[in-house]
Structures are given as C-alpha cells and as structure tokens.
Structure 1
Amino acid sequence: EMAARVSNRLFSHKLNEVPVHLQTPTFALKWCEEIKKPPAVPIIVNLSIDSKGFYLICVNRVKKEVECFDLALIHDTRTGSQVSLPQGGVEYFDQNHIGLLDVPVTSKWLTIYYGNTFVASELRIVHFYFESPSLAREWTEKLFQLGHNQILRNLSSLDCLEKIHSKIIHGLIDLDKRKIPVRNLVQFLCKNNRDSSKVREIHQRLESLKLNIIDSTIDPNEFTFNKFFSLYMNLIQCHEIEKLFNAIGGIDCQYLNVENVKVFLKKQKETLNDATEMDLYEIKANDVIKKYSEHDEYEREKGMSNESFLRYLLSFDNLIVDPKKFDLCMNMDKPLAHYFISSSHNTYLTGYQWTGRSSIEMYRQVLLTGCRCIELDVLDSEKKSDEPEIKHKNTPVKPVLFIEVIVAIKEYAFKVTPYPLVLSIENHCSAKTQAKMAQYFVDVFGKNLITEPLKTHPCDGNYPLPSPNDLKYKILIKNKKISTNSPSPVSNNNNHQIGNQTPDAISATTSSDTSSDIGKLRCHQQLLNASPRHCFLNNDPDELAECTDVNEKNSSENPPSDGDTICESKATKAMSDLVHYLVPVSFKSFAKAEQLSKSFEMSSFSEDRALSLIREQAKEFVAYNQRQISRIYPRGTRLESSNYNPYMYWLVGCQMCALNYQTLGKTKHTNL
C-alpha cells in the first residue's frame, strides 16, 4: 500500500481530452471584428482544436491564413438568447434570407470573449455562425469547458513547450504546401528580431536534427515534439543542468541509473535514511526513468539521459506546488468565516472611480473569475421613475439598470463554482424603490436566494455561520438590516423640510440636544442637500457611525470617491427581510464584538483603518475573524482604481479583501 502511494505521487492529471470530431475542420462563418463600412461580409473559415487542447485553430479559407486562439484566454462563450449580434449582422442575414424559415440566427451563433483582462471593453469579441444550432451549442459548451480547465491555466514548463510546439505545427504552416517554411519558424523563434547570429545558430541546430528539409520547408509530421525538445535543449544550452547531472551521476556521466535517481529524489525530500524509505524511493526512481525516457526505448534501457532528466525537472512531478492543489482540496464544511472569499469592489466600473463607465458585462466577467462577493451601488432612477439603477453615487458615471444587472448575475452566479455568492449592496434608494429591489431579488433569483436562515444554523450568537457546502448554489444579500429597537424613518416631507433648513437653523432648533445630536443632524443636512429624495433620517447612532469611516476625510475639493464612506439609506422591511448571516454593523471594538459574539454580524474597514488595527491589535483581529466576517475596501483616494496589497489583511484572517477587478497588476493577480 505504501509503495503504491509513493508511485502515485507522479502526476497523473490529464490535460484537455479533445473529441476526435472537434479535431477535424468544421465549416463556419466568422464575423469581422472591426466593421468600418457596412454591409459587412462574413469570412468562410474552418474551425478545429489541436489534439492537446491548447488552441482553437481558425483557418481563413479565402486568404489561406491561420489564427490560433489560446483556449486559456477564453473568458466566455455564448449562444442563443445570450448573444448580441454584431453591427450589420441582422441586415446581412435578412438580405440573404438566413435563419428566417428554420430557426433564429442567434441559435446558430457562437460569441467568444477573448483576452487577458477582465474589462469587457478591452476583450476581443469574436463571432462565428454554424450550420445548425446543435453545432453552435456543442462548440459553445466544449470551448468553455476546455478553456476553464485549471491545469491548462497552470501548465508546467514541459507542457508550455508542448503548447509552443502545437502553435508551430498549426499556426506556421503553409496551407498550400502543407509544410512549415523554415523562414516562418526562424521568425517565430527570434520573435521577429532579425539577429543574424541567432538565425545562423537556428539553421545549424535544425540541420543537426537530421530533418528532411526540402525547398526550405519542414514536414510537420516529421517535426515531432521530441525533435522540437532537442532543438530547444541545443538552443538554450542549459549548462546548470549539465552541472547538476554530472554532480548526481559523476563526471562525463551519460546516463543516470536507478541508484542515482533514488539518491537524488531522497535528497530533494530530505527524508529519513531507513530501509523502508529507500525501498519506496527505488520504486519511484524506476517510475521516473520509465515515464520520462519513454520517448526513446533504446535509451531507456541504459538509464536516464540528460534530455530525459531535463524533462523531469520541467514537469508537473517537480513543481513546488502540488498540482493536485489546482483542484478543490480544502474541507468545505467549516463555518463561512474560516475561508478567504474572493471579493470585488465597485464591480460595475470599467475604469477610474470618478470617470469610468458602468457596465453590466463587468459582472459577468468578474463572476467568471470565481469571485464570490460582488458590489452593487443602488440608487433611485435619475429619470425619477421607480426603477432602481446602479452607478457610482455623486459622480458623472452613467447608470445601468438594476434589473438587467441581477438577470446577468443570475445567469453567471454559478457558472464556474457552486459555492455561495454574496451581493454587497450599497443602498441609496427610497422606500418605494427598495420594495421593488426586494421583489426583483425574489423573482429573479428564486430558490437560489436565502430568504430565511437555515434550520440548522439560526441567526443566533450561539451558532457559527453555515459552511460553503451548506450554502451551495445560494445567494446571500449583504444590506443594512432593521434593528429591533430602531425607530421608523421620517416621511419624505419631513426630509425636505430638514433639507431646506440652514445649519444655523438646525442648531437653533436643537439647542436642548447634546452636541452629538447636533452632529448627527449636520450629517443628514449635508446628505439631504446632495440628494434629498435618496435619504431617510436615521436616528440610530450605531448605524450613523457607518456613514463615514474615521480614517476617510473628504474635502470639498475631492468629493467622496468610495461609496463605503457615504451614508446609506435606512433599510426598509422588504430589504431587511432578505438579509441573513451577513448583517453589516458599525465596528465599535474587538472587545465589544467578542462580548456580543454574533457570528452573523460583519463590519467593513477601509484599508488604512484595518492596517492600523493590525498594528495595534493583531491578535484580537485574528480572534474576531475566526468568529465573524470582515471586509476590507480601498481607501477613497484611489481614484485611478488602483489596488492595495491584500496579503497584509489575509495574515490576520480578513476574509473579504475587495479589489478593483478592472485594474490588473501584481496585487490583483495575488488574489486570483
């Protein structure tokens, strides 16, 4: 049993398995991505996927050109009702009577969102039209499945070389001759940098491979991966690998025997020197030699050559990170507070906080990354209707309709992961609009929405939060909740009366109140002046403390750029009834939170305030996060949508580090 366990440590996960019929060319029409002058005419293409599942190969049958789409860069694939036809598409199909008599055009359509960014406006949108709806569905589903393979997105160096070889074979070929021009290969390896010495060296190394080069072309069937790997070794000249190889086997060693490999593996693992361990490593050494020398049966009998040894070093079996960790490997039955939750800040924005655009597509793209907490800043309609809208409050950012956003969320909430999705609501709506919001949530999300606590996990201080497995395929609302002792909000008429008073008048009418009460009224006065119809007078001092973070100071010259620092509307019963397990409260102190011990309450902190708490009360912060959830958001001065480093907050267990997904960079990639 122990021997089998060690032997199985060799990586056995498979890359994409591509059905044979998808490896053969399939007829399709490709729509032009840049349409300048309609009417546009689609391009006749053949689509296929290489046998290793690295690329979607698109062959232009008219121009005899090949484009290889990296499957790992496919964010999304859509067909049917989710498709938006490109400019000129409807006119073209109407004029040519396509899709009118049988089925809608969109059912035969495939749209691919492609690129290395999450911002929809920066992604390539590639359109294909197939002969039948079944073909469109199959390609849509299969490309999404292959593209989101975690192994494909975390390749070993050896697999990266196989990927490069696949692109050479399929992307550099002359379609008329069915050969690879040597000139194309040289340009590819030199990255179009015409260095004469490099060109000469490549030609020399190609000659040493003893390829049958005719008319300066190479037969792709002859240029196998083994030939390419030999070319790679000769070009990079791994002197450090040669030194290591000789250190293991001895000077002028040609092959490593089982004993050499066994000692090397043992030294790498630093295990105890006992007979049982050595026997196990002998079994693994034999497995390593067999696996990485299989390209040459004759050489395998002699042992492990320099080339085979390099293959092993570049493989999954020699990764620092165990490849099995790319799959779900955690126990998902712990309370929700025991997990880091990938979180987005101002999810709707495609650019800067002040001048960016709101986009429904951002919600789709962010959810496709596996993000489990997205933010919705909801306001009353600018057109004075009762339709809620999403935008950045007090900025020129144009809104998007709330209903369209949550429909998109419904479609993509669990497309890449079954674990619970949190909607962090920043609520600036009137009571009438909040009622409509709540109804939309119930109608659109249906059974996926948590509308009451689970029977096994009541919202009680004596119970921990439910686990991710308990909440699979569930959507949780994070929104202010009415407290049992909170007074009712004043009417809209009273709001306007207060809004029309000057600060001096407010002070005069409240001369008998305490200074803190005057401060509360001044806060509401400023907010009502900005937009009276958005607000309710909130007499709860605990909720008032959440209006502005103590570390965020906004001058009149710099309007608040982060919604977390602006007072929200008071929650209505309709919205309050949908809030369970994630009840936002004003943070008083760690001692107070421990005394209350309410796992279902959570607090949000600006990055600066959280960092200050980490410096002063790190142990208390850890204890807090073991029981309940904390959310960190960027400071208000990050107008360019830059990101803080979440690592500092993860160290004390902060679960939700909300980042700007539209801004790529080191800190953003740390979170992926």
Structure 2
Amino acid sequence: QYSGRRLMVWASLQGDDNLQSMLVGTVMRKIKSRTWKKQRYFKLQDDCMTIWYKMLRSPSSSGLIIKIWLNDVEAIREGHQSEVLLSIADEFPADRCFTLVFRSRRSNLDLVAESAEEAQSWIKGMRKLIESLENMGEREKLDQYPLLRKADKNNDGRMNFKEVQDLLRMMNVDMNEHHALRLFMMADKSQTGSLEDDEFVLFYKMLTEREDILRVFQEYSTDGQKLSQSDLEDFLREEQLERGDVHQHAQQLIEGYEPSDTAKLLKAMTFDGFLMYLGSSEGSIFNPQRRGIFQDMTRPLCHYFISSSHNTYLMEDQLRGQSSVEGYIRALNRGCRCVEVDCWDGANGEPIVYHGHTLTSKILFKDVVNAVLNYAFKVSEYPVILSIENHCCVEQQRVMAQHLNHILGDKLLKSTLEGKVSSRLPSPEDLKGKILVKAKKIGGLEENCNGILGDSFTGLVSDEDEAAEIDEENLHRDSVRRRMKKSKQRLSKELSDCVVYCKSVHFISFRHSQSHFKFYEVTSFTESKARKHLREAGAEFVCHNSRQLTRIYPTGFRTDSSNFNPQEMWNAGCQIVALNFQTAGEGMDLNDGLFSQNGQCGYVLKPSFMRDNEKRFDPDMPQKRDDYQPVVLTIQVISGQQLPKVNIKKDSIVDPLVRVEIHGVPMDQAKQETRYIENNGFNPVWYDTLHFTIHAPELAIVRFVVEDYDKTSKNDFVGQYTLPLSCMQQGMVFFLPGNSCTVRLAAFLKDM
C-alpha cells in the first residue's frame, strides 16, 4: 500500500513537461562574478530529489559531479535578485536568470538559462518538486532515505550485506554483526542475498524500531495492538497532561494521522498512526498554539523585544569580510525587523555602505534600500527599522534621502500617524507595512510637526559615533557640554525629515532621561556599557526601557563577528539587541529561540512587569516581584534517533549526551546534562531526569544541546534546539529538526 502511494506520487510528478525536460538535462551558465561565467550541464536525477551538475564536456562524460539536494533549497529567486546577477544585467535579461538559495550556509547558486522558457521550466519544476517533498508524509519519505542510495555502491538498486554494514556506519550505529545479519535475512523475503524495493523499506523499519514509543503505546493500549479512542484520550490526559476537550482532540488525531482506513472506521489508532502523530508538529516540544500571532500587537513599540541585526551588510568578519545586500535579504527572511546601514561618502556622488576604516568590501546605499523594499515584508507585515549610521557629507546625505523617498515610496514613514504628536510610540499594528528610519534628527518631533524648523537646508547635531565608548556619566556636566560643542556634524534637513519616531540621541543618565523624557528618542549602548548599567542600576534600566527604545550592539573588539549573550540585555527590557546574524552560535540560537514564537514576526511582547513603569523589576532579585511565582521544570531525556556524524573519520561513531541549559535572569542561569551513550548515534536511550527551579519563567529560554562526548578534548557539537519556556508543550514530545530526540516534559506552569 505504501509503495503504491509513493509510486503514484512520483508518476504524477514525472508526467509534468517541466520535470521531463529536467530529467533529460540542459546546459546553463553558472555565474560567480561579472567575469566568471561557466557553462555547466544540469540534470534532475530519477529519484526526483536531487539535481546533479558538472563541467560541460558532454552529457555522458565523466568528471566532478556536484549534487544539489532539493530539500536543501530554501527559495528560488527569479530575475536579477542577487548582486552577482545584477552585475551582469546588461548582458543577460532577467527572464533568463534565477538564484537558488540554500538553507545551510552554503553560498547561493546563480544561474542563467539559454532562454526564458528554459528558465521557467526549471523554476516551475523545482518549485513543484520542493512542494511535493514538503507535503510528503514520513512514510512516503522512507524509501528516499539518501543514505540507502549512497550505500548502494554499484547503483544496481539492490543492497548486499556488505553494503548494509557500510550503511550502518554511515547511519552512525555500531551494531553487532550477528544482529545486523539477522535483520538483513528477515528483510530478504526473496532470499536472493540482497535487498530491493519493499525489502529496503522493511529493513529500514526494523532498523528504526522505536522501542521507547512502543513501550508507551502498549502501556495505554487495551489490547496491545491499537489505541481505541478511549485509550488515546487516556494518553492525552495522563501522558500529555492536556486540559480541555481531549475527546474531540483524540477524534481529530485519529482522523488526521491514522493511515489505515479500517482503524479509522473503528475510531482507533495503530502504532504507525501513533508514530506519525508524535512525529508531527503536534508532537513537537513547541506548543502549536504559540506558533501563530497570539500576542497583543497594539502596544507601544518599546513594549516589545525586536529581532535586530548588527552590521547587517557583512557576510563575514568586521575587518576584511564581504559586504553584500544578501546580508539584508537573509536577515529580513529570518524575521529581523531592525537592520543596520553604515553609510559613507562614495564615488560619483553615490553613498556607499561598508564597515568604515576597514578592508571590508563596499556596496551602494541605493542597492541596500532596494533590497529592503523587496524583502521587508516577505515574512512579517510588521514595521522594519533602518538603523542608519551616517558618516556622509551633506550632499550625499541628500542623495540618501532621495533614494529613501523614491525607492521606498509610501512604505517610508515620513510623518506622525494622523499628523499628530502623541505621548507614546505607535504600535506594531499601527505601523504595519511601514519602514522607519532610526538616525540623528534636527530638533524634536514637536518642532517638526509645528513647522518651527522652517525650510533650513542643514542643521548641527551631536556627532557621537556608536564605536566610541565615552562614559559621560562620570564626567562633569560642563565637560560634557564642552565635548558636545567640539564634536558636531552637519545634517541635511532632507535626511532629518526621514526620521520620525526613532531619533538617535546620546545617553547621559537614567535620571536625565526620566526628567527630559521624549518617547521618540532612542539611545544606543555597546554590550559592555549596557552591562555596566545593568550592574549598577538594573531596575532603573528596566524602567527606562518601559518608556523608550534602547539599542544594544556588540563591542568593537568582536572583529570576528562573534556575538554576546543577548539574554542579559533582554533581562533589562532592552528591545533592539543587535546581533551578527551571519555568525552561528549560542547568541543566534537564543535570538532564533525567542523570536520563534508569535508567528516569527520579529516582535515579542515583553512581560507585563517590564511594561509598567510604576513597577520596579530588578533582574538580580526576581523574588521581590509582587506576583513572584517560581516554576519547577522537570525534563526526562528519553532517546535520540539518527543523530548526524560529526567526525569525518570513517569508523567514528557518536557518543551522544544531551545538555539542557536555562537562560534567563541571573538566578535562573543553569545547565545539566545526561550521561553519554557510547558508540550509538543512531538510537541512543537515556531515560535521565533533570530538574530546574525557574524564578522568572516569563523571561526564561531553554536550550537543548546534543554533543559528542570526548574524554581527551572538547566535546563536538551535534545539534541544538532553543525555545522560550512559555512555549514548551508538556508531555512526551520531540525536539531538534527531524524529530531527532524524545523527551518527557513536565512543568508546573502558571498562565504566561
């Protein structure tokens, strides 16, 4: 039944004219730069999951073959939607060009077809295949498991026992040879000494038998063969700790995940259906109810954490790295809502963007603005903030203003809402589809609205570069005034007028900010300055951030584009915590985790005690809150499945352990880990239980890390999954992409 369904899927795909053309293969140009344009032969493979390409000699010639897994393609961009293709726009028309964007950190692939029709054939064909792969159930994917193909050394569609042993090594399992042979012989129904077609599937199913889940299934099954609806309700109530109408939910699960029509008629769930349910998004550790927009989006901007990027144009380090509009595209496609633009005078009167006084490459300001226009609202409709560091002369500032106005048009916020000056910032809901400029501004918002500034062409503003770390709070006020007088920048009125609700100002003190409060003013701190304020006046910092926006950015010493821990800054209520999005690691894991909720829209509502400036929340003493209520979190790490190999040595096998980290206020910072399981990355079983007490659960983020234990050196990183504590679903659930690890989770949670 399963194989028949799979064959029907692929038969319908292969009846498509575009796919037939791709299966035959074609010649396209691979473009790396304006001068590097090489012809390559591209061909869709018969598995309809991979595309191979190689140097153009002849379709049948040998040579280095590059493989593209369609599962790895995140997006297909049509036309001149990359810097490389823009650079050859005068040579190749847009309708022949397209770009493959990959999920990993693999570079984009820019292609030019021989005709517009051929380009469309590949674009439509690949999109159809990707959609089909995304919609395919886990059972349909089994026979396409890539390692099965890779282990078939002679490509004869069969697998002998030697190839099976190689497969086991590839799959990260050190299985006893006698046990492996027993499984092989059980799967070899044809008794030919090799496995093919459905025998592959049978072998894979025996290999991936989930004893831990089978144990739970049989515990709740009345007859040991299936779960009746009543059995399933007991599981949902007792194991998944569900509240509410479990009767209706059980009916929905049977209807949605049970593959057997006979079982459906009996209102029952087989083990296969149970596996499919637990392996779905409903069986994820992430509560499905927190995935969409569920928060109040009508509060002032300063009441939200905002996903923010630092030096967004950089793809690498801060000294010699490449600058690219691709940085903006990637950040915006990840839900980032505040991007940074460092602007300097360029040739021919055109402002450029790069990391000033370094060897990083340069891009045009107008290209950045175009990228923001095209990608600002692809994944989120809520406002985008352009954080502009302006180092340009007045003439090029006017060019910047022209580009902002002409390119962004009515998406650029040029005036206050309804032409009035309010007493607070507008909300994300008020500003849907709008792009705001954060930069220096001549005068205040009130003066601009009242026309007091008139039509003067330029004005003087404080020239305080973000890279400077001047501790003005320790300077005498007259000294501050003298410093400010000495350092002034001329600002064009045209660029100043582009700034409405995000006027960049220099910070003096929390007392000064409170007494001279302007809701539209934004202050910026380096991470080190922010930590100093947090140590000395944590409660005042939180109170300050309940009224106006604060931006935190990495210290200038992070030339490798590394990141600080953003949790410290979120603990103080800082909204715009800017990270180097191009650098993977704990910092970006936490950022992705926090903003994985609320529709991944880039805005997360701060806890109520951080929004009310009458309440004094001190991150160092969360127990002094009026509504203090700690949470006890219990996690039992049960098992792992098909963990990837991290060591390139042929015979290496992972010795996995799981570490659970709590990131939150200082009292909540904690780490615990399981035992390591020796020589089994395929199906390790732990059943280790970890306990945590969390004092500020609304701010807590939980990070699961899987590592390969090493006695003599640092453990190798295998994978991680991060999410807010408030988004965790109780019960028997999975974490890590591909449902790689099973945990049993219980938390005494209040309504967050």
For this structure pair, what is the TM-score category when the shorter chain's length is used for normalisation? 0.5 to 0.7
- Alpha-carbon offset, residue 579 of structure 1: 0.5
Matches of 2:425 and 2:421, distance apart in 1: 8
Q: Which digits, 9 at most, give the CA deviation of each residue in 1:45-70, with x for residues without a partner? A: 248996xxxx5655886479894524
What SS class does the counterpart of residue 357 from structure 2 fall into? coil
Task: Decide whether aligned partners of structure 1 residues 615 and 85 sit closer, same or farther in structure 2, where only a CA change above 3 A counts.
Answer: closer
What SS class does the counterpart of residue 581 from structure 1 fall into? strand
- Alpha-carbon offset, residue 666 of structure 1: 2.2
Matches of 1:190 and 1:551, distance apart in 2: 60
- Alpha-carbon offset, residue 480 of structure 1: 0.5
Task: Decide whether aligned partners of structure 1 residues 608 and 170 sit closer, same or farther in structure 2, where only a CA change above 3 A counts.
Answer: same
- Alpha-carbon offset, residue 586 of structure 1: 1.6
Which residue of 2 is the match for residue 475 of structure 1?
435
Q: Which digits, 9 at most, give the CA deviation of each residue in 1:97-152, with x for residues without a partner? A: xxxxxxx65413332132512xxxx514152626544x635754786799799x96
Task: Decide whether aligned partners of structure 1 residues 451 and 667 sit closer, same or farther in structure 2, where only a CA change above 3 A counts.
Answer: same
Which residue of 2 is the match for residue 600 of structure 1?
520
Which residue of 2 is the match for residue 411 of structure 1?
374
Q: Which digits, 9 at most, give the CA deviation of each residue in 1:572-593, with x for residues without a partner? A: 2121111011111122333433
8 A Cα contact 2:98 2:119, kept in partner: yes
Which residue of 2 is the match for residue 369 of structure 1?
334
What SS class does the counterpart of residue 539 from structure 2 fall into? helix
Matches of 1:237 and 1:546, distance apart in 2: 57
- Alpha-carbon offset, residue 168 of structure 1: 4.1
**In the TM superposition, what are the counterparts of 1:425-464 in structure 2 within 5 Å?**
425-455=388-418, 458-460=420-422, 462=423, 464=424
8 A Cα contact 2:99 2:108, kept in partner: no
- Alpha-carbon offset, residue 647 of structure 1: 1.9
Which residue of 2 is the match for residue 218 of structure 1?
196
Which residue of 2 is the match for residue 667 of structure 1?
587
8 A Cα contact 1:115 1:124, kept in partner: no
Task: Decide whether aligned partners of structure 1 residues 478 and 44 sit closer, same or farther in structure 2, where only a CA change above 3 A counts.
Answer: closer
8 A Cα contact 1:342 1:370, kept in partner: yes
What SS class does the counterpart of residue 362 from structure 1 fall into? helix
Match for 1:69: what amino acid?
A: W
8 A Cα contact 1:427 1:568, kept in partner: no
**In the TM superposition, what are the counterparts of 1:172-571 in structure 2 within 5 Å?**
179=157, 181=159, 186=164, 189-190=167-168, 192=170, 197=175, 201=179, 204-209=182-187, 216=194, 218-219=196-197, 222=198, 228=201, 231-232=203-204, 234-249=206-221, 253-270=224-241, 280-289=245-254, 291-295=256-260, 297=262, 301=266, 303-381=268-346, 385-455=348-418, 458-460=420-422, 462=423, 464-483=424-443, 548-550=468-470, 569-571=489-491
Deviates more, 1:168-177 or 1:616-625: 168-177
| RMSD value, Cα | 4.7
What SS class does the counterpart of residue 112 from structure 1 fall into? strand
Q: Which digits, 9 at most, give the CA deviation of each residue in 1:220-251, with x for residues without a partner? A: xx46xxx84x645532454433443444348x
Matches of 2:14 and 2:575, distance apart in 1: 40
**In the TM superposition, what are the counterparts of 1:21-32 in structure 2 within 5 Å?**
21=16, 24-27=19-22, 28-31=26-29
Match for 2:435: what amino acid?
A: I
Q: Which digits, 9 at most, give the CA deviation of each residue in 1:14-49, with x for residues without a partner? A: xxx9998488433343445899x9994431524899
Matches of 2:166 and 2:115, distance apart in 1: 35
Which residue of 2 is the match for residue 618 of structure 1?
538
Between structures 1 and 2, the one with greater helix share: 1
Match for 1:77: what amino acid?
A: R
| Structure 2: runs of 5 or more not aligned | 1-11, 446-457, 473-485, 593-752
Task: Decide whether aligned partners of structure 1 residues 81 and 390 sit closer, same or farther in structure 2, where only a CA change above 3 A counts.
Answer: closer
Matches of 2:238 and 2:315, distance apart in 1: 50
Alignment partner for residue 42 of structure 1, among 40, 43, 58? 40
Between structures 1 and 2, the one with greater strand share: 2
Q: Which digits, 9 at most, give the CA deviation of each residue in 1:431-475, with x for residues without a partner? A: 22212221222222222212222216x344x2x222223323322
Q: Which digits, 9 at most, give the CA deviation of each residue in 1:414-437, with x for residues without a partner? A: 333333221111111112221222
Q: Which digits, 9 at most, give the CA deviation of each residue in 1:473-492, with x for residues without a partner? A: 3221111011269xxxxxxx
- Alpha-carbon offset, residue 637 of structure 1: 1.5
**In the TM superposition, what are the counterparts of 1:67-82 in structure 2 within 5 Å?**
67-79=67-79
Alignment partner for residue 647 of structure 1, among 543, 567, 572? 567
8 A Cα contact 1:634 1:644, kept in partner: yes
What SS class does the counterpart of residue 442 from structure 1 fall into? helix
Structure number with bigger Rg: 1
Matches of 1:31 and 1:198, distance apart in 2: 49
Q: How many residues align?
A: 547
8 A Cα contact 1:290 1:300, kept in partner: no
Q: Which digits, 9 at most, give the CA deviation of each residue in 1:250-305, with x for residues without a partner? A: 8x944443333222211135467xxxx6xx43443354445544247379859545
Task: Decide whether aligned partners of structure 1 residues 170 and 271 sit closer, same or farther in structure 2, where only a CA change above 3 A counts.
Answer: closer
Matches of 1:654 and 1:595, distance apart in 2: 20
Matches of 1:283 and 1:340, distance apart in 2: 36
Task: Decide whether aligned partners of structure 1 residues 567 and 320 sit closer, same or farther in structure 2, where only a CA change above 3 A counts.
Answer: farther
Identity among equivalent positions (%) equals 28
Which residue of 2 is the match for residue 112 of structure 1?
100
Task: Decide whether aligned partners of structure 1 residues 292 and 75 sit closer, same or farther in structure 2, where only a CA change above 3 A counts.
Answer: closer
Match for 2:469: what amino acid?
A: D
Match for 1:371: what amino acid?
A: C
Matches of 2:421 and 2:47, distance apart in 1: 51
Matches of 1:145 and 1:618, distance apart in 2: 53
Match for 1:109: what amino acid?
A: C
Matches of 2:415 and 2:46, distance apart in 1: 48
Q: Which digits, 9 at most, give the CA deviation of each residue in 1:53-101, with x for residues without a partner? A: xx565588647989452445425523257684699x999xx9xxxxxxx
8 A Cα contact 2:79 2:94, kept in partner: yes
| Structure 1: runs of 5 or more not aligned | 1-16, 95-103, 486-535, 553-565
8 A Cα contact 1:343 1:371, kept in partner: yes
- Alpha-carbon offset, residue 377 of structure 1: 1.2
Residue 166 in structure 1 maps to residue 144 in structure 2 = yes
What SS class does the counterpart of residue 98 from structure 2 fall into? strand
8 A Cα contact 2:18 2:122, kept in partner: no
What SS class does the counterpart of residue 455 from structure 1 fall into? helix
Matches of 2:127 and 2:385, distance apart in 1: 24
8 A Cα contact 2:534 2:541, kept in partner: yes
What SS class does the counterpart of residue 657 from structure 1 fall into? strand
Q: Which digits, 9 at most, give the CA deviation of each residue in 1:492-512, with x for residues without a partner? A: xxxxxxxxxxxxxxxxxxxxx
Residue 576 in structure 1 maps to residue 470 in structure 2 = no
8 A Cα contact 1:75 1:112, kept in partner: yes
TM-score (norm 2): 0.61
Matches of 2:68 and 2:182, distance apart in 1: 28
Matches of 1:616 and 1:243, distance apart in 2: 54
Matches of 1:322 and 1:136, distance apart in 2: 41
Which residue of 1 is the match for residue 637 of structure 2?
none
8 A Cα contact 2:344 2:353, kept in partner: yes
